[in-house]
Every structure is written in C-alpha cells, then in structure tokens.
Amino acid sequence: MPSDPHSSLADRAQSRDPEELLAVASDLDLTEDMALALLTRRDLPGPVIEAIGKNPALLKHRKVILVVASHTRAPRHVSLPLTRHLYTFELVKIALLPAVPADVKVGIDEIIISRLAQISEGERLTLAKRASGRVAGALLLDAQERIVAAALNNPRMTEDVLLRALAQRKASERLVRLVCRHRQWSLRRDIRLSLLRNEHTPLAEAIVFAGEFPVQLVREVLSQSKLQPAIKKYLLVLLEARAAEKKES
C-alpha cells in the first residue's frame, strides 16, 4: 500500500505492512531511536532488518549495528559483515547470547581470534577468562603463562578444545606443564593419554599417567609418542616390570 504523504516517518514505522516497513527501514531520515524501536518488534520481517543493516544513515550508530548483528532473524550475509565493525568485547557479548545462531557465533569467534595478536596482554587475559571456549582454546597457545592458566579455567573450556590444543605443534611446554598439574583436566582419561604422547610431559607426571592404564594400551600409545626418549625408555622398563608382576600373581 502506498504511504500517506502526510504521515511522519515515526508514524509509518508503526505500520504492519511489510512494504511500508521496508520503505521506512531504507529511508535515510530514519533515526537511531526509530531504528532501535523497530528492531524490538517481534513481527519484524527479515528483509526489514536487512534494510536497517544496510541503511548508510544508521551505520554510524554502534547501538544499531550491535542489535542488527545479534538479531536472531538478521540474514547472515548482513549480520556477519557488521560484526567486523564492532569492538572485541562487544563481539564477546554477542557470542555469549544464547539466542545467537551457532554459525554466527563461529564467525564472531574467528574475528576475535584473528585480532589476538594485535590486542594487549590485559585484554587477552580478560578474554581467556570470559570468552567462548573456542577463543579460550586459541589462548592456550599464548606466550604468557597467566593467560594460558586463565584459559584452562574458563568455564566454557571443553575437553575437545583442550585436546586439539595439546595436539598442535605450537603447544608449549608451559601449556603441558599446567595441564599436567591442573586439578580438573589432569584427571581426564583422554587428556592423560594425550599427555603421554606429548614431548613436553615431565617424567613424574608421565609415570603417574602410565600407571593408570593397562600395559598394552600404554605400549600402543608410547609406540607413537613424542615423549623424550629417556622418559619413554624408562616407562617401557616400568611396563615390563608391571607385566612380569602380573604373570607371577
């Protein structure tokens, strides 16, 4: 339906007609407050959200960008490009919202991870504590021990993310040592097996971990392990002793 030429933009924004709303959303006179009010409507069609996200008059307003980028009905080809205009901790806030689609969260995490080399140590420490498990996983490879420790204690850290970090060539002795002594992660079966494959695992921890598994399983793990040769040799001696004791009993 054609709009009433005597109606104000604010009045037209109250319409339920999709075509009218699309025209309003594309209008260069649309203000930040009107756009934000529109975006709170539950009946707002996706194309209208897209038009707001593409309206050049609104792209200077961070609140509008933030709301469009995190809107559950915003088309991905609109929301994801907008996230690149947001500050890192604005992105963290969006990524942790339960209603934000999973693929948008992944895209946001990738943006944050791409920025890690350019942000300060203090900001990385905050991210290690508060960001998603995926971002915390990237920070497990950080050069600063306190950041690695904070990432390990991130409540969103998962075993899968940690296993992937331990398997990387860039996994440092610092990370391995912290995991070996961590009150939670050092008790996990698959983490212990991963540590038995890692070149940086100390002898004392390797002995403890190897003692938790059947002899044959440890032999198989050690056959492909990157543990220091002297440590691996010592563990094999212990395994032979365990096997001999089992035969005698």
**pLDDT tens per residue, range 87-141:** 999 999 999 999 888 989 999 999 999 999 999 999 999 999 999 999 999 999 9
> pLDDT tier at 245 (50, 70, 90 boundaries)?
confident
- Overall average pLDDT of the 17-22 stretch: 94
In a domain, 227, yes or no: yes
In a domain, 94, yes or no: no
How many helical (H) and strand (E) elements, i.e. helices and strands, does the chain have? Answer: 17, 0
Average pLDDT of the chain?
Answer: 93
Does the pLDDT at position 39 exceed 60? Answer: yes
Domain around 200: 185-249
Task: Please report the pLDDT score of residue 249 as a whole number.
Answer: 63
Task: Please report the pLDDT score of residue 126 as a whole number.
Answer: 97
Task: Please report the pLDDT score of residue 86 as a whole number.
Answer: 94
Task: Please report the pLDDT score of residue 7 as a whole number.
Answer: 65
Assign 21 to helix, strand or coil.
Answer: helix
**Given 48, 71, 86, which residue is the final one in a domain?**
86
Q: Report the C-alpha gap between 225 and 219 in whole angstroms.
A: 10
- Taking CA atoms, 169 is separated from 1, 73, 84, 173, in Å, by 62, 40, 30, 11
Does the pLDDT at position 69 exceed 50? Answer: yes
Does the pLDDT at position 47 exceed 70? Answer: yes
**Given 64, 86, 108, which residue is the final one in a domain?**
86
Task: Please report the pLDDT score of residue 180 as a whole number.
Answer: 98
In a domain, 9, yes or no: yes
In a domain, 144, yes or no: no
The total number of structural domains that make up the chain:
2
In a domain, 125, yes or no: no
Task: Please report the pLDDT score of residue 214 as a whole number.
Answer: 94
In a domain, 118, yes or no: no
**Given 66, 86, 106, which residue is the final one in a domain?**
86
Listed residue (93, 224, 178) closest to 162, CA to CA: 178
- Taking CA atoms, 115 is separated from 107, 112, 138, 156, 200, in Å, by 13, 5, 11, 20, 28
Q: What is the pTM of this model?
A: 0.85
In a domain, 138, yes or no: no
φ and ψ at residue 244, rounded to 5 degrees: -65, -40
- Overall average pLDDT of the 208-228 stretch: 95
Does the pLDDT at position 6 exceed 50? Answer: no
> pLDDT tier at 1 (50, 70, 90 boundaries)?
very low
